[in-house]
Structure 1
Amino acid sequence: MRTFLDVLQLLKKYDIYIHLGNRLWDIELAAIEIDNLYKAGLLENKKYAQIKLVLTHEHEMEERRQAKTAQE
């Protein structure tokens, strides 16, 4: 698990498709869905932690991108 796309591909294996039209919202919803899969016992601790790191990183990068775009 290295990218947001990898996370989305994993979610598709569980028939979870995310596209809200806003990348930040997509990342946030993916985080919620990953939490639900973990609580259901479908993800092991190591994989869950790795996915959460990817999502946190992507969220921070997207917030910076949107802030930069808003300043221009």
Structure 2
Amino acid sequence: MTFYDLQQMLKKFGTIIYTGTRIGDLDLMEEELKELYRLGIIDPDVYRDGLLVVKNERQAEISKNNVQK
């Protein structure tokens, strides 16, 4: 699963996230994933893959921000 795939999956459930900051977007995506999983709407594999995407994207964003400073 890619970041784009995750966005498209959330969009299918009516969730469009844009906070203006990448980290903010990732935080909200993680919360939406947790809620969809808790409600039994997505299966464990999709949940796991989504969380991995969020984690990897968050780490990349943190690394990018540290390099720019």
* TM norm structure 2: 0.93
Task: Provide the residue aligned with 2:59 in structure 1.
Answer: 60
Residues 14-60 of structure 1: per-residue CA shift (max 9 Å, x gap): 00010000011101110000100000100111111111111100110
- Runs (4+) of structure 1 exceeding 2 A deviation are none
Structure-1 separation of matches of 2:38 and 2:11: 18
Q: What SS does the corresponding residue of 1:8 show, helix, strand or coil?
A: helix
> Is 1:36 equivalent to 2:61 in the alignment?
no
* Aligned residue type for 1:49: R
- Compute the RMSD of aligned alpha carbons: 0.8
User: What is the number of residues matched between the two proteins?
Assistant: 69
Q: Where does structure 2 lack aligned partners over 5 or more consecutive residues?
A: none
Percent identical pairs in the alignment equals 32
